[in-house]
Amino acid sequence: MAISAADVKALRDRTGVGMMECKKALTEAGGDADKAVEILRERLKGKMDDRTDRAAAEGVIAVAVSGDDKSVAMIEVNTETDFTAKNADFIAACQKIADIALQGPDGDVQVNDAITEVIDNIRITTKENASFARGLKVTAPDGGSVGIYLHHNNKIAGQLVLTGDVDGETRTGLAQHISALDGMMLPVPAAIDPDALPAADVEAKKAEFVEEATATGKPAEIAEKIATGKLNKWLDDNTLVGQAYIKDMTGKSAVRDVLPAGVAVASYTRYAVGTA
């Protein structure tokens, strides 16, 4: 049957594959566009499988949140070049993967047939070694909520689970704080709050501070007060809730100060493209 230029162009727009390859696939498929897509996918996927040893150090992060703000999925897809990572179609495909992940179970996102199909299509259309790097879906407990922040470059994101209902602006702000925990902008905390720190570590640090104060000749009562003050500062420096809240430009508010009474951070995760 005759294959029209319009049919070839439509397949080209749909797949991103060259005109000649599209025409061959349409001819082989007898003009059936869906069958032609499958032919191209199988034909070109084989070629792309030969490129899996090429480094894929660029990429994007995509997020998806449920309508009730109770669940969030965050995924990372890697590709070879920043050019592809900034492509609108690539970003849209990654968003589709995040949407798929949101429909799945909590925990690490497992690559299923739907995700594999999207990745294969990315690899075929970009001619690059795209790969699913990682993903996580979390759901808040009853009465809780989730927060998510995706940086405008699509390369850094933070999410957290809260034990209570918190307004959207605060949830986003807290997630933005999480996204900045890179060890440079903000230190990476050892725990969410002091109760999550190993008791032995806290006791050892307190004894160290008491010993330091005592060594300067301070009386035991004064040495104890000095050590307590230093310990509180150490606890703030090593816990998420004790850190200075990134959205407060005065530096006077800690993360715990923006949490409503009775609400705690249950968990948090930060993603940055190319990091573990």
CA dihedral 202, 205, 206, 210 (to 10 degrees): 170
Q: What is the mean pLDDT of residues 13-29?
A: 80
Angstrom distance (rounded) from CA 229 to CA 216: 16
Q: What is the mean pLDDT of residues 6-16?
A: 79
Read off the pLDDT of residues 203-248 as tens digits, 9 standing for 90 and up. Answer: 999 999 999 899 988 888 998 999 999 999 999 989 999 999 999 9
Domains in the chain (CATH in brackets) are 5-49 (1.10.8.10), 54-137 (3.30.479.20), 140-189+249-276 (3.30.479.20), 198-237 (1.10.286.20)
Identify the burial level of 34 via C-beta atoms within 10 angstroms of its C-beta, where 0-12 means exposed, 13-18 middle and 19 or more buried.
Answer: exposed
Comparison of pLDDT for 56 and 180, the residue scoring more: 180
pLDDT-derived band at 48 (thresholds 50, 70, 90) equals: low
**Residue 148: closest CA among 255, 213, 63:** 63
**Residue 255: closest CA among 247, 157, 141:** 247
Read off the pLDDT of residues 75-125 as tens digits, 9 standing for 90 and up. Answer: 999 998 899 999 999 999 999 999 999 999 999 999 999 999 899 888 888
